[in-house]
Structure 1
Amino acid sequence: MGAYCTEWEDSMKLISHVLTIIVCSVGVAVALKPVAARAQVTIFQKSGPSSDFDAWLQGITLTGQIEGGIDANPARPDNGINFGNFLGDHANQVQLNQVALTLARAIDPTKAEYQIGFTLEALYGSDARYYHLLGISDHMTSDRYQLIPAQAHVDTHLPWLTKGGLNMQAGILQAPMGVETLDPTTRPFYSLAYTSEYSVPFQHVGAMFKWHVIDMLDVTFGIDTGNQTTFGRSDNNDAPAGYFGFNLNNLAHGKLTIIELSRVGPEDSVKVLGSPANHLNRFWNDINATYAITDKLSVTGEFNYLHDDGLRADTTSFVSFLSYKITPTLTFNYRGEIYRDNTGLFVASFLTNRAYMQAVAGIPAPAESAPPTTYGELTLGVTYKPDLGHHIRVFEIRPEIRFDRSLNGTTPFNDGRNTGVFTFGGDAVLGF
């Protein structure tokens, strides 16, 4: 009972800290906007016509975002970990998932002219533990709350080959594969699907290209050092990897979009497999389609298949999403998933704050795993997203209920005791 009380007190303290940060963020946003406007006038206002460089500078934006959440587990696993859950991995504990600041100058791909921009994003919080790059930020701290350069890339638009031209991003990139992303405002739930955690990459150092062939078709390709690796000793093998795929846009009178992306290259560590790791490939394949049935109702389906030559392992999954806008500020969300890990080598929970990146590097790491398992997952939730105005860019509250179950009789949940687990929780997001 004493341990439970201590845990509760710690959680309430963290809730207080998160609420304090949110309140302060609102105050800072409200207070700073007039100052920023005056600063812009001071820097850019000129008596004569503005130059192209002045216009480019005026396109630079600074945004901030904070997210905190909790995944409560009534079974209270002894190790305190929600198995198979990265972002809400600590059961019954509030976490400050993200505090992100983004400085950017966007490009406009609809303009047939040379353009250059950039994106710089720093992220602090518990989510950072899973999005490091080897050799850049993975050794900075062993605390639960960590700091990463979530993005740092140069963006260009080149009016080449076709009317739509070619877009390029080069630097530290967030991986483009899959439906759910690191930014909580782009996905319907606090928690992630198994597919989004174990069968798509997270971060890259490299270059990505998108060629706008025609209005209906974009072609994507790119090259990088590997998933969450960099160069030299900070690469877990000596070979690059890369993407290729396509987007089909505005099908069915603008209601349907289809995105296919494949990836190939060695991803396993030479510390685990030896020199064969440099030529044994991992093949990632993801296709998803989103259809807007009405203005209020949309559905998404995602199919993913991964094969790893070095591990002799496969994962196969299908995820379905449904979103229904009940009112302008309230949306109902559904996610259902079937995920097969045919060797038990992919789905795992990492028991220390640096364990995930140690596994990427090929260093032994404390983790909880399961035998070959077919996972079923159902998540229901709502998103309350009022327009607060007063310089608040976005505000969301997203409660959710989730049920996970082994469909082939294994017991991966709650310290290996149960075939299923029930969790409930959610998060709050504030952006300015």
Structure 2
Amino acid sequence: MPRDPRLRLVRQDPGTPDLSVPAADRALGAGEPPTGAIGQPVPPDPTVPGAAGVGGRDPFGAGTSPGSPDLAVPAADRGIGGGEPTTETAATEAAEDEADKADEPKRLQDLLGFEDSPVKIYGWIQNSYTGNTNGRGKSGENFGVNPNHKANWWMGNQYYIVVENPLEQDDTVNFGFRVDNLFGHDWQFNYMQGLFNDAFPLNKPGYDLAQLYGEVHLPFLTEGGLDIKGGRFYTLAGYEQVPAIARPLLSTPYMFNYGQPFTHTGVMTTLHLTDKINLYNGAINGWDRWINERYLWGYMGGFSWTSQDDKTTLAMTAVWGPNQFPSFLPASQQIYPTGYVNIPTLAGLRNPGYWRNDRTLFTWVGTHKWNDRLTQVMETDQAWERSIPGLGSGGANGAPRDATWFSYGNWFLYELSPKLTGVWRSEVFWDPQGARTQKIVNGQFVGDRFYEMTLGMIYKPIPNLWIRPEARYDWSQYHNAYTDDTRKSQLTLAVDAIILW
């Protein structure tokens, strides 16, 4: 039985997070966390077709359909891995949601007759094309635009497969696991140092083991209990996430690609303090790195809060710890993690400053549901790092330098119809020392402010198909950064298609 019989779980499709909540609570999977908290869907308004999410309709207009994330909350509260409802609750939900089944994506597992299996297998396919009005240039890069970073190219971004046994949020001790397999061009977007180094050619399809963790639900301490997971998992920080279905647009903002981690390896706890407040605490071995070395441990934690009327959410995440490397990386490596300066003369040598190369990041994400159709999301990030080797001299002699970076982003999601949602994103990303974007002028790293505004939409002609066109304009304030550093702005026109299965 649920801990509070007044709380009714809303059925969600495996693999489709609620994009109206913070990343950690988006329920990226078949899990169904308790109703009420961020990322734990509130009961839908039965008078509104497709009602779901925070205070009204699902911003994607997909109703309670599995695979339709609620983008109205921060990433930390989208419940990645989530929780499975009790048998009795699931039966109740099945009866209540029978009328909505026509709007739900048809999952391959269900069509094969395994819908009742405790182990869920599901995923999606995402392809995209991005055109740059400046042309391809010599490098063919859309600087700042990720993961669709190739100009005038078709990309097979994500062929994504999830295998999981989600937790049940009830009064029993129970165990779960999750494995995310990312095939396609986005493997290098989600790159983790030490895992498959140089295994796949750049800009070609490859593979990334995006998540690999086990977890346990303990019905102790509070009414909602405590969840513990260990392994590799997506970060709690920020609003947008790596999985294509966990963000409202094809492209991601600068703050996501340059300012935040993608994944961590470690242990994370979620304490459901109340039905409106979650507390997060955990130990991680840094940003985007595997367990190939004995990395120093750091900390990630924070909280998420939902208002009594379920229309407003707030999430804060703090990440701290050493984030350079015990030894300088090979000079010939094809990808270097963002924030690492390649110093060929020191390749392979021990880094004497590793212990003091600590990095601190704070992210704040607030959302508000203005009415049944309009949701606003705001995010602000602040970060600093000490003694980054090579930053002070363009990598020539490894001179260290401290660095800071800041960002602010704003999203509006407006449901035009049950099948069509409009999206507007605007952002400023300030990289004073050039540590994150790593632009070099006359042999020196230079800082800059980068801006982008993106107008797009999510169109769902049928529940299993998403089509997302977007027009994005980027510009830099001080230096040429686009089209091989020859221009200070660029306009990209892009579209992606996602098939849920």
2:362 counterpart (267, 285, 297): 285
Q: Does 1:259 align with 2:315?
A: yes
Aligned CA distance change for structure 1 residues 112 and 73 (closer, same or farther; 3 Å) = same
Q: Counterparts of 1:161 and 1:431 in 2: how far apart (Å)? A: 38
Note if contact 2:299-2:321 (Cα within 8 Å) is conserved in structure 1.
yes
Aligned CA distance change for structure 1 residues 212 and 341 (closer, same or farther; 3 Å) = same
Corresponding residue SS for 2:256: helix
Partner of 2:352: 275
Q: Counterparts of 1:166 and 1:31 in 2: how far apart (Å)? A: 30
Alignment of 1:17-416 (within 5 A): 36-37=112-113, 40=114, 58-76=117-135, 77-109=137-169, 111-143=170-202, 144-233=204-293, 238-249=295-306, 251=307, 253-269=309-325, 270-271=327-328, 274-311=351-388, 312-348=402-438, 371-388=446-463, 394-407=464-477, 409-416=478-485
Corresponding residue SS for 1:275: coil
Q: Counterparts of 1:198 and 1:396 in 2: how far apart (Å)? A: 27
Note if contact 1:62-1:103 (Cα within 8 Å) is conserved in structure 2.
yes
Deviations 1:124-145 (A, max 9, x none): 1111112233333233222521
Structure 2 gap ranges (5+): 1-104, 329-342, 344-349, 389-401
Q: Counterparts of 2:185 and 2:222 in 1: how far apart (Å)? A: 43
Aligned CA distance change for structure 1 residues 115 and 339 (closer, same or farther; 3 Å) = same
Aligned CA distance change for structure 1 residues 257 and 91 (closer, same or farther; 3 Å) = same
Q: Counterparts of 2:124 and 2:480 in 1: how far apart (Å)? A: 38
Q: Counterparts of 1:314 and 1:190 in 2: how far apart (Å)? A: 28
Deviations 1:374-395 (A, max 9, x none): 111100011101334xxxxx31
Give the aligned CA root-mean-square deviation in angstroms: 2.2
Aligned CA distance change for structure 1 residues 32 and 385 (closer, same or farther; 3 Å) = closer
Q: Which amino acid aligns with 2:112?
A: A
Corresponding residue SS for 1:94: strand
Corresponding residue SS for 2:197: coil
Note if contact 1:189-1:426 (Cα within 8 Å) is conserved in structure 2.
no
Q: Which amino acid aligns with 2:378?
A: G
Q: Counterparts of 1:62 and 1:184 in 2: how far apart (Å)? A: 17
1:79 Cα deviation (Å)?
Answer: 1.4
Which has more helix, going by share of residues?
A: 1
Aligned CA distance change for structure 1 residues 30 and 419 (closer, same or farther; 3 Å) = closer
Q: Counterparts of 1:418 and 1:31 in 2: how far apart (Å)? A: 45
Note if contact 2:163-2:180 (Cα within 8 Å) is conserved in structure 1.
yes
Q: Which amino acid aligns with 1:266?
A: P
Corresponding residue SS for 1:127: helix
Instruction: State the TM-score, normalized to the length of structure 1.
Output: 0.78
Q: Which amino acid aligns with 2:133?
A: P
Deviations 1:195-244 (A, max 9, x none): 000111112211111101112211101112111212353x6xx3112202
Q: Counterparts of 2:486 and 2:459 in 1: how far apart (Å)? A: 35
Instruction: State the TM-score, normalized to the length of structure 2.
Output: 0.68
Note if contact 2:147-2:251 (Cα within 8 Å) is conserved in structure 1.
yes
> Percent same amino acid among aligned pairs?
23
Q: Counterparts of 2:378 and 2:154 in 1: how far apart (Å)? A: 31
Deviations 1:97-122 (A, max 9, x none): 0101111111132x122111111121
Aligned length: 358
Note if contact 1:402-1:423 (Cα within 8 Å) is conserved in structure 2.
yes
Q: Counterparts of 1:383 and 1:206 in 2: how far apart (Å)? A: 34
Q: Counterparts of 2:267 and 2:109 in 1: how far apart (Å)? A: 34
1:189 Cα deviation (Å)?
Answer: 0.7
Note if contact 2:356-2:386 (Cα within 8 Å) is conserved in structure 1.
no
Q: Counterparts of 1:317 and 1:33 in 2: how far apart (Å)? A: 41
Partner of 1:364: none
Note if contact 1:343-1:371 (Cα within 8 Å) is conserved in structure 2.
yes
Structure 1 gap ranges (5+): 1-28, 42-54, 350-367, 389-393
Which has more strand, going by share of residues?
A: 1
Q: Which amino acid aligns with 1:306?
A: A
Corresponding residue SS for 2:237: coil
Note if contact 1:266-1:280 (Cα within 8 Å) is conserved in structure 2.
yes
